[in-house]
Chains A and B, each alone.
Chain A
């Protein structure tokens, strides 16, 4: 029933954790640095992209998702699908509105 037990041995050592920590600091600095530039409508996209990379490496290494079984991956990824569903349909609804008062 379980595929969890054998995964313990794959857990990463201190060096990888330190590298991930460093990457997070660097990406934070990048976030601050790019805030000086105006990308117009893409400001939010750039900020979210960097934040997503940071969240992903935290989930993969600090939360050990990289070493988990398929079921855990399904539970980790399905909420992302729901997030896209919520944002996607909400944006679709907003942009297809016909203004009553012009």
Chain B
């Protein structure tokens, strides 16, 4: 599809340089991607261990693993805050976004490489503040709702300050990606030829740039409220606790899409390669990312249906919430149509992509339940929400993340993992995930509230099953991690720089890519997804 790409013998891989300095001062987008990948994986592990601890506690109705209910509260606050703000928000966007965007559009790096490194360092400062907060962690849950977050005796300021600092990293990364995509596309890489991961990254970057400041200000208000007792959220002083929720969700609902839209992009890359078919409905998939990004700003009140908000506002937002289902369904239908009559290769990354479609659809459809006003009143703050959220976040984003790890592993590291072990790990993860979270829909429907360390006897079978599932899920992730780590210490290179026959630009350079990606900036002459047929015919059909 392009001229000017490199051959295997010409280059010095970007990983060739050794030493700590070569990492901490690097401005290479691929290395910065690795720095993010390592850091977010660390937080994923810590947050995952907190989750396993919570599930172990819930094996029995009594409090037996944690000493007090507050300790359990701290565990779920830790789990939620780390997973959301330190793993899943920066997750795919910062790690795979950094690695892939310049390679996919035919650029040598991002538009502002030094700001890119600054983003990472700000991210590290945020994590350092958060880690220092772990000595006396908060117990508010990841949403920091007032008035509890103002009244609790645990340390709320440090954790919110960490998240506040983290926001700057997100904003700078979003700005960098937007400028990169506008200004550094290779000749011939028109908007209608852009890989769908780039479209998704662009939509995500808009959200990062425009929504993140709102949560920053909100958390600053919370810090000011705790430190100076001003009264923004205190009715006794003319404030309103629901104001916090309005501000918080104005960011945090779009943030859900910061988490999941990059995964949409990944699925759109993996499926056509392993179905050997052009992606169906290219423009619909591309534009639907933007539609989701725009609509996501109009739905935040659906998180507050039982918070005491006005019925008029609730009815309006219930209707608006349903609109999100349209562009999301457009994507799911187009991916499914791409699979139709495809020559499907069940590579491990494809298995994750297919899991994504199934699990994200369950997550999305149960979201429609929760958007329906009357149903939400019954289900709010129950385990139904927990299950729905995890079907979107793990079933969606994390499956996309794992799929991307397996798909671009060879390109990123120039190593090969064991495919059979990867499939075994996928199977355990898929089964473990469903055993963990599917029962939670039932217990939620029956009224089991979330965030409780103890519960009535009648829920014990659901909770036990869910805990067994978490062990299977944990085992699967452990096997996957070991399988991906072992090859990094082994010698040898992949036989081919493009083992899956992808047409995308990043696969046309050696594995791992050289320092500045391309000898000469390539000229793009074709569409990225012309698989399995005459290229010009595919272009015409698009």
Mark A residues whose CB is within 8 Å of B: 1-2, 71, 75, 78-79, 82, 85-86, 89-90, 92-98, 100
Provide the B129-146 mask, 1 if CB < 8 A to any CB of A, else 0: 000000000000000000
Whether A1 contacts B183 by the Cβ 8 Å rule is yes
Cα separation A90 to B313 with both chains bound (whole Å): 9
Q: Is residue B446 contacting chain A, with contact meaning CB distance below 8 A?
A: no
Name A95's closest neighbour in chain B (CB-CB).
B310
A66 to B210, alpha carbons, bound, how many Å? 21
A96 to B297, CA, bound (A): 20
B345 within 8 A of A: no
Does the CB pair B185–A1 fall under 8 Å? yes
Q: Contact residues of B with A, CB < 8 Å?
A: 178, 182-183, 185, 209-211, 213-214, 240, 242-243, 246-247, 250, 297-298, 301, 308-313
Task: Establish whether residues B185 and A97, one from each chain, have CB atoms under 8 Å apart when the complex forms.
Answer: no
- A85-B298, A89-B301, A94-B310 known; 4 other A-B pairs, CB under 8 Å? A82-B211, A86-B214, A92-B312, A94-B240
Report A-chain residues with C-beta under 8 Å of the C-beta of B240.
Answer: 94
Q: Is the interface of B mostly helix, strand, loop or mixed?
A: helix
Contacting pair B311 A98 (CB below 8 A): yes
- A78: nearest chain-B partner, CB-CB: B210
Residue pairs across A and B with Cβ atoms less than 8 A apart, 23 shown, are: A1-B183, A75-B178, A78-B210, A82-B210, A82-B211, A82-B214, A85-B297, A86-B246, A86-B250, A89-B246, A89-B301, A90-B243, A90-B246, A92-B310, A92-B312, A92-B313, A93-B242, A93-B309, A93-B310, A94-B242, A97-B309, A97-B310, A100-B308
Across the A-B interface, the 9 shortest Cβ-Cβ residue pairs: A96-B310, A93-B313, A96-B312, A97-B310, A90-B246, A86-B250, A93-B310, A93-B309, A79-B210
List chain A residues, Cβ under 8 A from B211: 82
Chain A residues with CB below 8 A from B182, complex form: 1, 71
Shortest beta-carbon distance, B208 to chain A, in Å?
13
Nearest opposing residue in chain A for B175, CB measure: A75
* Residues of chain B contacted by A79 (CB below 8 angstroms): 210, 213
In the complex the two chains form, is A93's CB within 8 Å of B250's CB? no
CA distance A63 to B276 in the complex (A): 49
Complex alpha-carbon distance, A50 and B239, angstroms: 25
Candidates B178, B247, B310; contact of A98 at CB < 8 Å:
B310
A78 to chain B, nearest CB (A): 6
What residues of B have a CB within 8 angstroms of the CB of A71 in the complex?
182
Tell me whether B185 and A96 are in contact (CB under 8 A): no
A94 to B182, CA, bound (A): 40
Q: A93–B247 Cα gap in the complex (Å)?
A: 13
Tell me whether B297 and A82 are in contact (CB under 8 A): yes
Contacts of A94 in B (CB 8 A): 240, 242, 310
Partner of B313, one of A78, A86, A96: A96
Residues of B with C-beta under 8 A to A82: 210-211, 214, 297
Kindly state the separation between the CA atoms of A1 and B242 in the bound complex, as whole angstroms.
45
A48 to B214, CA, bound (A): 19
In the assembled complex, how far is the CB of residue B321 from the closest CB belonging to chain A, in whole angstroms? 13
Nearest Cβ in chain B — how far from A68, in angstroms? Answer: 13
Q: Please, which residues of chain B bring their CB within 8 A of the CB of A75? A: 178, 209
